[in-house]
Structure formats: structure tokens, C-alpha cells
């Protein structure tokens, strides 16, 4: 397992994670069959890019103050069946994929927090986890509002 | 009170009287017999005129013989037995001061007086009194099929107003100077205008007034969510119940149809231009009628073997009889619209090919593609999308199997997921197919149920159970892969988020199993992509719905317009019709400027 020596190490790791997500969504956008879905994935990639920029800024400024706030978990990502990335994905599939991805990232940071060497580092991991649940919530709300809409 | 000059006190039996004490209206002409509801007290003896031998059915008048100088003690309300005689009036006819009169109302609900001195009858009240009386008339219910009987048939539940009830209800409208109801109506029908025509008993003119803005009043009167539209805005709703606008709309439309007063309008001079309408739901039907009326030649292309869209294959017979939908379609045919059934645009013919033969195309293909929740077990046997379930039942008349050859999906213990109209329709259909138990599972609470209140009420009456604040997380199957139950989780509503909606949040560890042998998923639908596969240049949003210019409903492809659920996602019949109207206005404006 990766050793984290400093907070900067942690942030580098997180920044790399966000970049991987950017690349992942850009790849999906490229493969998409339709213009609309290309758009969707490009916008997901953009959102990840914003997360990365935020982390880069935090690292540059050395400000590790993250607010701790309980994030609502609608658990939609927990109960939906996984979808495989494919050029024919619908927006619903894209949301499921994104929710699951954010959830996985949350779990990773949460695990890392449990194993952190010191409290400061633990806090950073926890806040990164919290950030990921915020991202997940955004997708879950979209899913709740449109896919689960009663008619 | 002393009776001086009259021989008989006469009461007309067509009277619809109203008691100022208990607010009861006494409907005189009921149960086939001519009955009169007053009680009179004569020589200290109470005479119940409802059973009175004095009632002359042929004359439609009841007469109590009285001698000159006799005393009629009082007239009583048959329900609360209080006096309906008002003592502080002077008779307008004979001018006698302190004449004693009863306040009541005739069939037009213009207050009615009977002078007990000379037996004079007269109408009219001061405005203030009139308003006071109107405000006291209770909102009139529609008579409907008994709840224990109706679950064994598929016939329509409410019978609709009789003309007496319609007059009573129309009489409640106070004809506001600044009528809020019109703003509440998505197509701005002149509501007080049509209601005042009902009061005048000009039912055929009333329906014409509605049709200026809404071509399908018999349908909208039945299925529009008036409680969130015109009736929500009605000022009477502030203190009392709002005027039953939808029931009146339905009444006049039914009157016109039953009396065979519907006439094909005069069609404008032929413009020589042709319009193709794709889809025969409410949006398409509106465009077809409008454009045909304006003198265009119109062809409707419908994918299925029957017309009407959701009106035919979605909303069940007991809520919207199919004969009414077909009547409206025949009307379009009589206007000269052509209808091509079994034509899937995008598969057999493309939009581009249509544009070669038509001057403009309207796309009203709805949002009928079922989406699933994507949870475990959705592919088990006997798990249906509401779309498939209702289509089988309605369009293929599975409920008439084996007369019709589609077998009916049937369960003893049915669960329906969702809380909208579609869920109620599915549940109420299931109970009519003889299921022992039908349960609706909905993830929010009763307050948030998006279905029409009337539907929820009818569903409850029919014995449908509600499991609120509950959501399925996976379905469980038998060895031969049929559904046998579902795992549910209890939910609670979180704090309102930025959009103001309270999201349902699962309660950790509250999972439980609900047995069932048939599941109908009435959550979510989407646009069917067929039509777009050959026409990628029609711009759509991420959900796959068409993007249009909201002023014209024209799409990104010139001369191609769209409206209804394919633009908004699942919405309402009246919104689809409103969208059709915007498109037809814009189409006409644009095509008028172009020479052939
Ligand atoms: C069960 C149910 C109950 C409802 N209850 C109510 C209610 O009580 N009140 C209310 O206001 N609304 C209700 N709605 C919603 C309402 O019916 C819809 O909003 C409305 O019908 C949308 O009209 P539309 O014309 O856009 O499409 P639709 O009515 O969906 O019609 C679209 C038509 O296009 C046809 N079509 C599709 N693709 C093609 C193609 N490629 N080529 C040719 N034809 C095609 C379809 O077969 C269909 O006939 C209900 C919906 C459902 C499903
Ligand atoms: S708001 Fe109500 S009372 Fe006023 S005009 Fe409209 S229907 Fe009549």
C-alpha cells in the first residue's frame, strides 16, 4: 500500500485521482455515439477538473482547512446495479456510473483515514471523503429528480 | 301566518331549494318519482310534501288545499326541520310590507321567494344576499359507481353531473371581476364566461367557449389536475371549496356529444400546403385540428394500431372511456385529417423523407419508453413496467382475454412502485382484474403523492393499500425466476435542499421483505429514440428530449416542430395540447409567408 509521508503527499494522490477521473470521462465522451452523451461526459470531466483545480489551489496555498459537515447519503448508488462503460450508455447509465465512482472514491479515502498515521492526515482524508460524498449527492439528486420521478 | 286570498299553496316540483340553516339543497326531481322536499306545517300538523298525496305529478306542482283565512303555520326544511320562512321582507309582487317569504332557489339558483300572503312567486335578491347565499351552497359531488361494485368492472367511475347538479354548481361561481381561475388554466380558458353560459342553461354555447382554447374538453374535464390549476386558483377556495370547474367542463362537453350537437367547423380555404403530424397523442391531435381548420392538408402518422397516444393505451377505461377518445378522433377525420396507423417514423419513413413531401412536420411522439430503477431482480418474470402493463390491459384489451388474445398479467398479491397517476392507474387496474391484494409502495409521504387527489381517494376507497416512505432495493425470485417478493427499506424525508424538495433518505437497518407475485414499476419514463436515429440533426438535451424554441416550438431543424412529453418529459394532457397550439400558431405564421 502507498505510504503517505505528508499532507502534500495526500493531496498529490488526490489530485492524481481527479486527473484520472477527468481522463476517464473524456475517454467516454470520445467514444460516445451521440452528441448529447458526449456533452454529458465532457461536463462530468469538467466537474472533475474543477475538483482538481481546487485541490491544486489548496496545496499551493497550504490551506488545509476543510469544513466538516455531514453529507446526506441517498444511497441510490448503493442499490443500483453496476453498468459497464460503453459507447451506447444512456444518461441514466452515466449517472449510475458516476455515483458508483464517487462512492468508490469515498470508500478509499475513508479507509485511508482509518489507517492514517496522525490526526492531521486523518482529517485531510476525511474531508476528501466528504468531498466525494458531496459529488455523489449531486448525481444522486439528479437521479432522484429525473429517473425516479413518479408519473 | 294567515292565508287570505289563495286557494292553494303551490310549489313547483322543479324547484331546487336550498336551506339557509343547514346548507342542504333539496333536489326535488330525484329517484324517478316527482318528489317535493318541503315540509309544511298546516293546522299545527306537519305535512311532508315529499310523500304528499297533494302532489300532482303531471302538473309538476304540489298543492296544499287551504281555505281562505286558514292558517299555514310554517314551512320547514326536510333535513334540519328549521323554518325556511324569512319574516323581514316585503313582497316585490303584491307590495305587502312584512310579507312572509321563503328563501329558496329555483333551478337556476336565482333565489326564489314565495309570498305566503297571496302566494306570489318572485325572483331576485340584493347582490350582497345573493353572494352570501352562493357562498353557502356546498360544492356538488358527482354521483359515482359504488366502490364495492366498481372493482368488478372496467366502467367509468363517476357518472357526471345531471343538469340540476351542474346548475347548482355553476351557480356557486361569483363571476369575479379579476378571475384568478383563468390564470391558473394552462391554456387560459375563459372560465367565468363558460360558467355563466351554464347558469343561463346555454350548455352548447358554454362548450363552444371552452373549445376556443381547448379542443378536448370531455377529456380534460376528466383527467386534468384541476386541483393544481384553475381550481387551486379559484377565490372560493380561500374560505370554501373552489368551484368544480373540471366537472362543469366535463358536463357541457358530454352534453354536446350526447345531444349530437357537435358540428364539423367550416374549414378555411385550402392553402395547398401539407403538414405531417407524428404521433396521435393530445399534442399531435391539437396540431392536426388547428392546421386542418386553417386550410392545410394534414396527415397523422401513428406507430400503433390505434390512435390517441396515452389517452388510449395509458389512461384506463374506468377513468377515461375509450369511446370518448375515439369520438374526438372521428371528429378529426370528419374535418378531413388523414390518419396512417402502424407507421413508425424513423423506421419506415424518416423525418427527412417527410420533409420532401410535407411543408412542415410536427413531432408529438410522447415519452413512452419505460426506464427501470436499475436495481437487482428487475428482469424476473412478472416484473412489468407500468407502460407494458397498462398497454397490455388497455390497448390489447387483455382484461377481455380470451375474447382478445393477449393474456392478462395477473397476480394475487400485486405491488405497484410509485405515487403518480400511472401508479394509481396500474393499482386500480390490478384490483379490477381480481387480485386479492394491491399495495402501492411510495418513497415519500402522503403529502408528496404526485397523483391527482381524486385518484388517490378512489384508490383508497377501492381497498388499495399504501406503504408510504418505503422503497424497494431489490426483487426476490423463485427457482423458476418469477418474482416472489421484494426487499424494501424505510425512508425518511431529509431537510429541503437547494431546490426546496425534501429528498427521501433510507433509514439504516430498516430493511424488510414484502411478499408479492406481480410488480408494476410506475417510476420514470423516457423518450423513444427510434425517430432520432435517422435524424441526428434534431437537437436534444441530455435526457434525450427535444430542445425547441419556446416561442414557436420549432426544433433545431427548420420546419420541424415538436411538443408534448417528447419536449418536457412526462407532463399532462393539457400541457401537451398547449404545446401543440403554440406550434400550430407558429407553423401557420411561418408557412403563410412562404409561397408554395
Ligand atoms: C397511465 C398514465 C396516466 C396519466 N394520467 C394523466 C392524467 O390523469 N392527467 C393528465 O393530465 N395527464 C396524465 N398522464 C400524462 C399524459 O397522458 C401525457 O402527458 C400526454 O398524453 C402527453 O401527450 P403527447 O401528445 O405528448 O404524447 P402521447 O400521448 O404519449 O402520444 C404519443 C403518440 O406518438 C406515437 N409515437 C411514438 N413514437 C412514434 C413514431 N416514431 N412514429 C409514429 N408515432 C409514434 C405513440 O404511439 C403515441 O400514440 C398520464 C400518463 C400515463 C402514462
Ligand atoms: S375564480 Fe372561481 S369564483 Fe371566480 S370566476 Fe373563477 S371559477 Fe368563478
B137 within a domain of the structure (yes/no):
no
pLDDT of amino acid B7: 40
Q: Which of B280, B309, B428 has most ligand 1 atoms within 8 Å of CB, for mutation? A: B309
Query: Per-residue confidence at A141, pLDDT binned at 50, 70, 90?
Result: confident
Q: Which atom of ligand 2 is nearest to the CA of B235?
A: 1
Which has the higher per-residue pLDDT, B76 or A132? A132
- Closest Cα in chain A, distance from residue B375 (Å): 5
Cα–Cα distance measured from residue B499 to residue B546, given in angstroms and rounded to the nearest whole number? 24
A contacts of B536 (beta carbons < 8 Å)? 34-35
Residues B543 and B479 in one domain: no
Q: Which of B117-126, B308-317, B443-452, B528-537 has the lowest mean pLDDT?
A: B117-126
| Mean pLDDT of the B216-230 span | 94
Nearest CA in chain B to A42: B542
Which helix (DSSP H) or strand (DSSP E) does residue B137 occupy?
none
B contacts of A90 (beta carbons < 8 Å)? 526, 544
Summary mean pLDDT of chain A: 84
pLDDT at B549 over 90: yes
pLDDT tens by residue, B424-458: 999 999 999 889 999 999 999 998 899 998 899 99
Stretch 11-30 of chain A: residues touching chain B, C-beta under 8 Å: none
B131 within a domain of the structure (yes/no):
no
Q: Which atom of ligand 2 is nearest to the CA of B174?
A: 3
Residues B223 and B243 in one domain: yes
**Ligand 2 binding pocket includes B339 (Cβ within 6 Å):** no
Which residue has the least CA distance to atom 6 on ligand 2? B181
Q: Is A67 near chain B, with CB under 8 Å?
A: no
Cβ count near B395 (within 10 Å):
18
Name the domain boundary from B466, B498, B523: B523
Residues B401 and B519 in one domain: yes
Cα–Cα distance measured from residue B306 to residue B455, given in angstroms and rounded to the nearest whole number? 26
pLDDT at B23 over 50: yes
Cα–Cα distance measured from residue B258 to residue B423, given in angstroms and rounded to the nearest whole number? 31
**Helices A7-31 and A35-61: angle between axes, nearest 10 degrees:** 170
A contacts of B366 (beta carbons < 8 Å)? none
Cα–Cα distance measured from residue B362 to residue A66, given in angstroms and rounded to the nearest whole number? 53
pLDDT at B233 over 90: yes
Q: Is A89 near chain B, with CB under 8 Å?
A: no
Burial-class residue A65 by CB neighbours within 10 Å (0-12, 13-18, 19+). Answer: exposed
B91 within a domain of the structure (yes/no):
yes
Residues B300 and B321 in one domain: yes
pLDDT at B33 over 60: no
pLDDT of amino acid B10: 43
B contacts of A145 (beta carbons < 8 Å)? 499, 501
Which residue has the least CA distance to atom 35 on ligand 1? B279
B422 within a domain of the structure (yes/no):
yes
Which helix (DSSP H) or strand (DSSP E) does residue B102 occupy?
strand B101-105
Cα–Cα distance measured from residue B367 to residue B308, given in angstroms and rounded to the nearest whole number? 14
Q: Which three cell numbers stand for residue B337?
A: 385529417
CB B298 within 8 A of CB B275: yes
Q: Is A148 near chain B, with CB under 8 Å?
A: yes
Residues B418 and B397 in one domain: yes
B1 within a domain of the structure (yes/no):
no
pLDDT tens by residue, B349-392: 999 999 999 999 999 999 988 888 889 999 999 999 999 999 98
Cα–Cα distance measured from residue A89 to residue A31, given in angstroms and rounded to the nearest whole number? 10
Name the pairing type of β-strands B16-18 and B25-27. Answer: antiparallel
B268 within a domain of the structure (yes/no):
no
Summary mean pLDDT of chain B: 83
Q: Is the peptide bond before A61 cis (omega within 30 degrees of 0)?
A: no
Cα–Cα distance measured from residue B432 to residue B159, given in angstroms and rounded to the nearest whole number? 18
Domain ranges of chain A: 7-146
- Residue carrying C-alpha cell 420532401: B356
pLDDT tens by residue, B143-181: 888 888 888 888 899 999 988 889 889 989 989 999 999
Q: For residue B284, how far is its CA from the centre of ligand 1 (angstroms)?
A: 10
Residues B329 and B384 in one domain: no
pLDDT of amino acid B70: 46
Long-range contacts of residues B452-458, Cβ cutoff 8 Å, at least 24 apart: B452/B225, B452/B227, B452/B421, B452/B424, B453/B227, B454/B227, B455/B319, B455/B421, B455/B424, B455/B425, B455/B428, B456/B424, B458/B147, B458/B157, B458/B424, B458/B428
Q: How far is CA B549 from CA B553, B569, B575, in A?
A: 5, 16, 16
Cα–Cα distance measured from residue A98 to residue A89, given in angstroms and rounded to the nearest whole number? 12
Rg value, chain A, Cα:
16
Walk across the sheet containing B55-56 and list its strands: B8-12, B61-65, B55-56
| Mean pLDDT of the A114-132 span | 84
A contacts of B422 (beta carbons < 8 Å)? 150-151
Q: Which three cell numbers stand for residue B220?
A: 380534460
CB B336 within 8 A of CB B329: no
pLDDT tens by residue, B246-294: 999 999 999 999 988 888 888 999 999 999 999 999 999 999 999 999 9
Report the percentage of chain A scoring pLDDT > 70: 94
**Ligand 2 binding pocket includes B235 (Cβ within 6 Å):** yes
DSSP assignments along B320-376, one per residue: S-HHHHHHHHHHHHHHT-EEE-S--BTTTB-HHHHHHH-SEEEE-----EE----BB
A contacts of B443 (beta carbons < 8 Å)? 148
B132 within a domain of the structure (yes/no):
no
Query: Per-residue confidence at B494, pLDDT binned at 50, 70, 90?
Result: confident
Residues B475 and B578 in one domain: no
For residue B154, the enclosing domain spans 147-258
Name the domain boundary from B230, B258, B286: B258
Neighbouring C-alpha atoms within 13 Å toward the C-beta of B279: 33
pLDDT of amino acid B27: 46
Instruction: Say if the Cβ atoms of A147 and B524 lie within 8 Å.
Output: yes
pLDDT of amino acid B135: 74
> Is the torsion defined by CA of B306, B310, B315, B320 positive or negative?
negative
| Mean pLDDT of the A114-133 span | 84
Query: Per-residue confidence at B314, pLDDT binned at 50, 70, 90?
Result: very high
- Return the CATH number at B345: 3.50.50.60
Q: Is B237 near chain A, with CB under 8 Å?
A: no
| Mean pLDDT of the A85-95 span | 85
Q: Which of B5-19, B251-265, B394-408 has the lowest mean pLDDT?
A: B5-19
Cα–Cα distance measured from residue B8 to residue B61, given in angstroms and rounded to the nearest whole number? 11
Residues B396 and B502 in one domain: yes
Q: Is B144 near chain A, with CB under 8 Å?
A: no
Instruction: Say if the Cβ atoms of A148 and B374 lie within 8 Å.
Output: no
Q: Which of B217, B278, B281 has most ligand 1 atoms within 8 Å of CB, for mutation? A: B281
Q: How far is CA B12 from CA B74, B125, B229, B483, in A?
A: 18, 19, 39, 64
pLDDT of amino acid B96: 66
Q: For residue A85, how far is its CA from the centre of ligand 1 (angstroms)?
A: 31
Cα–Cα distance measured from residue A10 to residue A125, given in angstroms and rounded to the nearest whole number? 8
| A62 Rama class: left (phi>0) / alpha (psi -120 to 50) / beta | left
Instruction: Say if the Cβ atoms of A151 and B525 lie within 8 Å.
Output: yes
Cα–Cα distance measured from residue B52 to residue B41, given in angstroms and rounded to the nearest whole number? 13
Instruction: Say if the Cβ atoms of A146 and B418 lie within 8 Å.
Output: no
Q: How far apart are the first and last CA of chain B?
A: 82
Cα–Cα distance measured from residue B65 to residue B45, given in angstroms and rounded to the nearest whole number? 14
Cα–Cα distance measured from residue B573 to residue B314, given in angstroms and rounded to the nearest whole number? 12
**Ligand 2 binding pocket includes B174 (Cβ within 6 Å):** yes
Cα–Cα distance measured from residue B398 to residue B406, given in angstroms and rounded to the nearest whole number? 5
pLDDT at B560 over 60: yes
pLDDT at B81 over 80: no
Name the domain boundary from B523, B549, B567: B523
Cα–Cα distance measured from residue B283 to residue B47, given in angstroms and rounded to the nearest whole number? 59
Number of domains chain B contains? 4
pLDDT tens by residue, A35-79: 788 888 898 999 889 888 888 888 888 776 666 777 888 888 888
DSSP assignments along B20-53, one per residue: TTT--EEESS-TTS-----EEEETTEEEETTS-T
| Mean pLDDT of the B66-92 span | 61
Residues B119 and B227 in one domain: no
pLDDT of amino acid B56: 39
Q: How many residues does chain B have?
A: 596
Q: Is the peptide bond before B402 cis (omega within 30 degrees of 0)?
A: yes
- Nearest to B559, CA basis, from B592, B531, B587, B589: B587
pLDDT at B306 over 50: yes
pLDDT of amino acid B86: 63
pLDDT of amino acid A64: 66
Q: Which three cell numbers stand for residue B250?
A: 366535463
B134 within a domain of the structure (yes/no):
no
User: Domain A7-146: which topology?
Assistant: Ferritin (1.20.1260)
Q: For residue B175, how far is its CA from the centre of ligand 2 (angstroms)?
A: 6
User: Which neighbouring-strand residues pair with B495?
Assistant: none
Residues B378 and B470 in one domain: yes
Coil, strand or helix at B257: helix
**Ligand 2 binding pocket includes B234 (Cβ within 6 Å):** yes
User: Which neighbouring-strand residues pair with B40?
Assistant: B47, B75
Task: For residue B177, give the DSSP letter.
Answer: S
Query: Per-residue confidence at B73, pLDDT binned at 50, 70, 90?
Result: low
Instruction: Say if the Cβ atoms of B505 and A141 lie within 8 Å.
Output: no
pLDDT of amino acid B39: 52
The model's pTM: 0.78
Q: Which residues contact B555 (CB under 8 A, 6 or more apart)?
A: B363, B538, B539, B546, B547, B548, B561, B562
Residues B379 and B479 in one domain: yes
| Mean pLDDT of the B577-590 span | 96
- Closest Cα in chain B, distance from residue A76 (Å): 9
Amino acid at each position: 500500500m502507498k505510504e503517505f509521508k505528508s499532507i502534500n503527499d495526500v493531496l498529490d494522490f488526490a489530485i492524481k485521482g481527479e486527473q484520472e477521473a477527468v481522463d476517464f470521462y473524456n475517454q467516454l465522451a470520445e467514444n460516445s455515439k451521440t452528441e448529447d452523451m458526449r456533452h454529458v461526459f465532457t461536463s462530468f470531466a469538467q466537474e472533475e477538473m474543477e475538483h482538481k483545480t481546487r485541490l491544486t489551489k489548496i496545496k499551493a496555498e497550504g490551506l488545509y482547512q476543510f469544513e466538516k459537515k455531514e453529507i446526506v447519503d441517498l444511497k441510490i448508488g448503493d442499490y443500483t446495479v453496476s453498468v459497464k462503460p460503453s459507447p451506447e450508455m444512456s444518461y441514466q447509465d452515466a449517472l449510475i456510473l458516476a455515483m458508483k465512482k464517487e462512492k468508490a472514491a469515498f470508500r478509499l479515502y475513508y479507509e485511508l483515514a482509518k489507517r492514517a498515521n496522525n490526526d492531521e492526515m486523518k482529517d485531510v482524508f476525511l474531508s476528501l471523503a466528504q468531498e466525494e460524498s458531496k459529488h455523489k449527492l449531486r448525481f444522486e439528486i439528479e437521479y432522484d429528480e429525473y429517473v425516479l420521478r413518479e408519473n | 301566518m294567515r292565508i287570505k286570498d289563495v286557494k292553494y299553496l303551490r310549489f313547483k316540483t322543479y324547484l331546487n331549494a336550498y336551506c339557509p340553516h343547514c346548507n342542504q339543497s333539496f333536489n326535488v326531481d330525484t329517484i324517478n318519482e316527482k318528489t317535493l322536499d318541503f315540509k309544511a306545517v298546516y293546522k299545527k300538523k306537519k305535512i311532508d310534501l315529499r310523500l304528499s298525496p297533494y302532489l300532482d305529478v303531471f302538473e309538476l306542482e304540489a298543492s296544499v288545499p287551504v281555505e281562505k283565512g286558514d292558517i299555514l303555520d310554517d314551512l320547514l326544511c326536510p333535513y334540519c326541520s328549521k323554518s325556511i320562512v324569512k319574516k323581514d321582507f316585503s313582497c316585490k309582487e303584491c307590495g305587502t310590507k312584512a310579507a312572509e317569504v321563503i328563501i329558496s332557489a329555483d333551478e337556476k339558483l336565482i333565489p326564489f321567494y314565495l309570498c305566503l300572503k297571496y302566494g306570489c312567486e318572485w325572483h331576485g335578491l340584493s347582490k350582497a344576499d345573493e353572494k352570501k347565499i352562493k357562498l353557502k351552497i356546498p360544492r356538488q359531488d358527482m354521483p359515482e359507481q359504488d366502490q364495492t361494485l366498481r372493482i368488478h368492472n372496467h366502467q367509468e367511475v363517476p357518472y357526471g353531473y345531471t343538469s340540476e347538479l351542474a346548475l347548482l354548481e355553476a351557480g356557486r361561481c361569483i363571476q369575479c371581476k379579476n378571475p384568478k381561475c383563468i390564470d391558473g388554466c394552462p391554456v387560459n380558458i375563459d372560465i367565468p364566461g363558460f360558467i355563466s353560459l351554464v347558469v343561463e342553461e346555454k350548455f352548447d354555447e358554454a362548450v363552444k367557449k371552452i373549445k376556443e382554447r381547448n379542443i378536448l374538453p370531455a377529456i380534460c374535464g376528466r383527467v386534468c389536475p384541476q386541483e393544481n390549476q384553475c381550481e387551486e386558483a379559484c377565490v372560493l377556495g380561500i374560505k370554501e371549496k373552489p368551484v368544480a370547474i373540471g366537472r362543469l367542463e366535463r358536463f357541457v362537453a358530454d352534453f354536446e356529444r350526447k345531444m349530437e350537437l357537435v358540428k364539423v367547423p367550416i374549414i378555411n380555404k385550402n392553402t395547398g400546403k401539407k403538414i405531417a403530424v407524428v404521433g396521435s397523442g393530445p399534442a399531435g391531435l391539437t396540431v392536426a385540428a388547428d392546421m386542418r381548420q386553417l386550410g392545410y392538408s394534414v396527415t397523422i402518422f401513428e406507430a400503433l394500431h390505434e390512435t390517441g397516444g396515452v389517452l388510449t393505451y395509458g389512461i384506463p377505461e374506468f377513468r377515461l372511456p375509450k369511446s370518448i377518445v375515439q369520438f374526438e378522433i372521428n371528429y378529426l377525420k370528419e374535418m378531413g385529417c388523414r390518419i396512417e396507423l402502424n407507421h413508425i417514423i424513423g423506421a419506415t419513413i424518416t423525418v427527412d423523407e417527410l420533409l420532401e413531401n410535407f411543408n412542415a412536420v410536427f413531432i408529438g411522439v410522447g415519452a413512452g419508453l419505460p426506464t427501470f430503477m436499475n436495481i437487482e431482480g428487475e428482469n424476473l418474470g412478472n416484473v412489468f413496467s407500468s407502460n407494458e402493463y397498462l398497454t397490455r390491459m388497455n390497448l390489447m384489451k387483455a382484461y377481455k382475454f380470451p375474447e382478445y388474445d393477449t393474456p392478462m398479467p395477473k397476480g394475487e398479491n400485486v405491488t405497484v412502485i410509485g405515487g403518480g397517476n400511472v401508479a394509481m392507474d396500474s393499482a386500480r387496474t390490478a384490483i379490477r382484474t381480481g387480485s386479492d391484494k394491491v399495495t402501492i409502495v411510495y418513497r415519500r409521504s402522503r403529502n408528496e403523492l404526485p397523483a391527482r387527489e381524486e385518484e388517490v381517494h378512489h384508490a383508497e376507497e377501492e381497498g388499495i393499500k399504501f406503504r408510504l416512505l418505503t422503497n424497494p432495493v431489490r426483487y426476490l425470485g423463485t427457482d423458476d425466476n418469477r418474482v416472489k417478493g421484494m426487499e424494501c427499506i424505510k425512508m425518511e424525508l431529509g431537510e429541503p435542499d437547494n431546490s426546496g424538495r425534501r429528498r427521501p433518505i433510507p433509514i439504516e437497518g430498516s430493511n424488510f421483505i414484502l411478499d408479492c407475485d406481480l410488480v408494476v414499476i410506475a417510476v420514470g419514463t423516457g423518450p423513444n429514440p427510434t425517430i432520432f436515429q435517422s435524424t441526428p440533426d434534431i437537437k436534444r438535451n441530455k435526457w434525450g428530449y427535444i430542445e425547441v424554441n419556446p416561442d414557436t416550438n420549432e426544433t433545431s431543424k427548420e420546419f420541424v416542430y415538436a411538443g408534448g412529453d417528447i419536449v418536457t418529459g412526462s407532463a399532462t394532457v393539457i400541457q401537451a395540447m398547449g404545446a401543440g397550439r403554440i406550434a400550430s400558431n407558429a407553423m401557420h405564421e411561418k408557412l403563410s409567408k412562404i409561397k408554395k
